[in-house]
Structures are given as C-alpha cells and as structure tokens.
Structure 1
C-alpha cells in the first residue's frame, strides 16, 4: 500500500512539474517589428517593416522545446511613404484585400545549450505556404522591470525568394532575394 501511495505521489509531482515547465509569452506589439530588406536595382538596400504584429511564444526551458506563432497585418507595411505603402499593398505584392494576414508557425525549435538557435516553420504570404528556417541571432529571457514579469527579446533572420510567394514583379531589377528579420519582445502571460 505504501508503494502505491508513493508511486501515485511521484506521478502527481511529475505531471505537475511537466505542466508547470511550459511557459507562454505574448508578443508585445509595441516592441515587435518584422522587417524585410532587398536590393533595389543595385543602387541601394531598401529596408521596410510591418507595424502590427501579434502572436505567442511557448517555451519549456527544461525540455528545451518551444513554439512560435506570429501573425502580421499585411496592410501595416511601412516604407515611410504612403504611396509606396499602397503599391506594396496591391495585387503585384501583398494583395492585402484578398490576403490580409501573413503568418509564421513553427514546426520545431532547435536549441544550442539553453538558447534557441533556429526555428523551423511555415511562412504563409498571399495564401502560399513555404517552409522557412529562422536563425536566431539574439536571444535573452529575463525579468522585465517595467511589467514585473519575465520577457523574451529575440532577433531571428531568414532569406527567402519573394517569387516563391507570388510576388515576382520587377525581378531581376529589384532582387528576388529578400532578407526577413523578426525583432520581437514577448511578455510572459499571467
């Protein structure tokens, strides 16, 4: 009887610790800025961003597993020029009237020690989904003194071809290769 009680107690503690180990962080839209850059006709590297992002990051530090789910409002593309924003929102590029949301959903997170090193997942732009691996170039998880909760800060980078997502207008004059950079802060959920 004592062995049964000990086994039940051990299983209860194990189940609770497994559940407690997974943490969820809400993406902070005021400190998150997905960016993209490309070569413009050999003259310059253009850098633009999206202003409206939401999502969640799930992390189990002990098991070294995680998940990323990001949603970007395509209409929030910001080039610094309203006319060009409208051009990118049109059918040749993001076609925001038909495809208002860009998403990235992870399928695996690979760790190097205690830190995520890369994130494998699926990027959906203009209704087209392709596998994209993000390389994590910066990562920190620590208390955020302003909100009194743990927070994640990270930068993750990938290169894609815009033509793979139905946006081949002006290739090769404007480069097909685009560098995506996700600069994110996320606050631990209550």
Structure 2
C-alpha cells in the first residue's frame, strides 16, 4: 500500500511537471529589448541553426548548398549587438547538397579543398544599425585560406530564457552575398553563377559562468 502511494505521488509529480512545461512552452514569449540580454558568452545551439549557400544554376534556379557541422561563439558585451562580436567556423567537409557525387566534388580540390582547408571561418569586425532590431554586420570571411570582408544583413529576433533548456537564449536571422571568384572558387562558371547568397538562422545559449 505504501509503495502504491509512492508510485501515485511520482506519477502525479511527473504529470504536473509535464503540464507546467507544456504551459511554459505554449505561453513562451521573447523580448526584442536588447537591454534585457545578460552580458556574457553564448554558444550556438547545436540543434537550432541553419547555414546555407545558394548559387544560380543554369539560370533555372538557385541551387542550395547546406552545411551539417557549424560552431559559433557570441560575446555579448555592454552596449548590445553593436558592441558584441561573433565568430563562426563551418566544417567544409560537411557540405550537403543531397547529391553524393556533387558533395565529393565540392569537398575536392576544385572547390573547397577540404583536405587542405578544413574550415570556412567568419569573424565579425563591426555592426551598423539600420533599425531597432536590424543592421549590417561586417566581418572577415575565410575560404581556402583567402580572407575577404563580407556584409550580412542581421535581424535580432529576440531574447528570453528557453523554457526547455532553461538557458538565456538569443535568436538571429541573417543573409548576405559574396563573389565566389574573390575566393578563387571559379570552377563551373558561368554555368554556376558567381554570386553566392548566404542564409543563416541561429539560436545562441548562454554558457554557465
């Protein structure tokens, strides 16, 4: 009888916890106020991000090239997004087009040459506001050992404590363009266009101090 009561209490506790979690998720709200963001170091959420390149393909469509392995760190400083810095690293061998033969070609010496240059990196250098939650992020992009400045249009989507992870979490969207020829990536031109569009979705969670 005593064991039954303990089991019933455990079941009720789990049900209550699940109910509270479901309620917190359903009522979750993020703030667009940068002043609410705690200063500190944030890392890219391993499960909530997307980085892709797309290029013109024979003028039929924009062919999408995704990456499966990316790491990033955001140092959120006093003064908000304009005073903060981000750095990211893309595993060049994680390129994913859903076409295995093309993946091998992109990883090979004619394009990313992942064996010699395993990482595509980005290091921010400046941010210029264009609105309350938007602006242009300038940074150094390095591909195949060549570094060039690029600009990304960034939107700060908001901040809150994630109801599932219990971490302070920031969300961003970004996109921009660069010339692949500027990095020595001229293979297949002009069948494949020179202009590369970058699309990014990212959530960052605050590290414990």
Alignment correspondent of 1:77: 95
The answer to whether the 8 Å contact 1:31/1:185 transfers is yes
Q: 1:95: how far off? A: 0.4
Which structure shows the higher strand fraction?
A: 1
Q: CA deviation at 1:113?
A: 5.8
d(CA) in 2 for partners of 1:77 and 1:130? 21
Q: Is the 8 A contact 2:51 2:66 kept in 1?
A: yes
User: How many aligned residue pairs are there?
Assistant: 171
1:34 maps to 2:76: no
2:175 corresponds to: 157
Q: What residue number does 1:54 align with?
A: 71
Q: Give the SS at the match of 2:84.
A: strand
What displacement does 1:33 show?
1.7
* Deviation at residue 22 of structure 1 after TM alignment: 2.9
Q: How far apart in 2 are the matches of 1:113 and 1:164?
A: 30
Q: Which has the larger radius of gyration?
A: 2
Q: Contact 1:102–1:126 at 8 Å: present in 2 too?
A: yes
Query: Which residue of the other structure, out of 127, 132, 153, is the alignment partner of 1:135?
Result: 153
Scaled by the length of structure 2, the TM-score of the pair is 0.76
Residue in 1 that maps onto 2:139: 121
Asked if structure 2 preserves the Cα contact closer than 8 Å seen for 1:109 and 1:116, the reply is: no
Q: What CA distance in whole angstroms lies between the structure 2 residues aligned with 1:171 and 1:145?
A: 47
RMSD: 1.8
Detail structure 1 runs of 4+ shifted over 4 Å in the superposition: none
Q: Distance in 1 between matches of 2:131 and 2:193?
A: 36
CA distance in 1, matches of 2:156, 2:40: 20
- The gaps in structure 1 that reach 5 residues or longer are 1-19
Gap regions ≥5 residues in structure 2: 1-36
1:25 maps onto 2:37 in alignment: no
- For residue 112 of structure 1, report the CA deviation from its aligned partner: 4.8
In the alignment, which of 176, 183, 190 is matched to residue 194 of structure 2? 176
Deviation at 1:67, TM superposition (A): 0.3
**1:21–1:139 distance in 2 versus 1, CA, 3 Å:** closer
Residue aligning to 1:9: none
> Equivalents in 1 of 2:74, 2:180: separation in Å?
26
SS at match of 2:47: helix
